[in-house]
Amino acid sequence: MVSLDKPELTNFKQKVIQIVKKIPRGKVTTYGTVSTLAGNLRGARMVGGILHFNSDKYDLPWHRVINREGYISIKRLEYPKELQKALLQQEGIEVSEGFIVNLKKYGWWG
């Protein structure tokens, strides 16, 4: 058994979840960053997909995860961008009218 941590496929999901939950309050990050930290450079799509399914099952601060433009690409009507904007402002993050966040200012890099 042993061996080193076997990079199990489904582990990526758990890894992403752990990273997302690790994002400090008042900061935001991008899918690409999380995917990279999870071990996959081009796994950004998975991060979005994972949050899509797990945000509803787990308590993931999905509102702290946005696309590279600092814009919320969310498509879940159950979690409208409007809600995210409120959540981000609640964390002390400024959100532009276009739901854009300054990653330069609030971007968390791990």
Partner DNA sequence: AAGGTGACTAACA
Partner DNA sequence: ATGTTAGCCACCT
48 binds DNA (CB under 7 A): yes
Residue 49 or 91 having the CB closest to DNA: 49
52 binds DNA (CB under 7 A): yes
- Answer for which of 13, 87, 91, 100 binds DNA (CB under 7 A) is 13
Q: Minimal distance in Å, beta carbon 17 to DNA?
A: 10
Helix (H) or strand (E) holding 91: helix 81-91
19 binds DNA (CB under 7 A): no
Centre a 10 Å sphere on the Cβ of residue 58 and count the other Cβ atoms it contains: 13
How many residues lie near DNA (CB under 7 A)?
A: 34
- Alpha-carbon span 3 to 105, nearest angstrom: 41
- Alpha-carbon span 37 to 53, nearest angstrom: 20
Interface mask toward DNA for 70-109; x: CB under 7 A: ---xxxx--x------------------------------
Task: Give the DSSP per-residue string, 46-79.
Answer: HHHHHHHHHTTTS---GGGEE-TTSB-----TTS
For residue 89, report the phi and psi dihedrals to the nearest 5 degrees: -65, -30
Which residues of the shown chain bind DNA in the complex (CB under 7 A)?
9-13, 30-32, 40-56, 62, 67-69, 73-76, 79
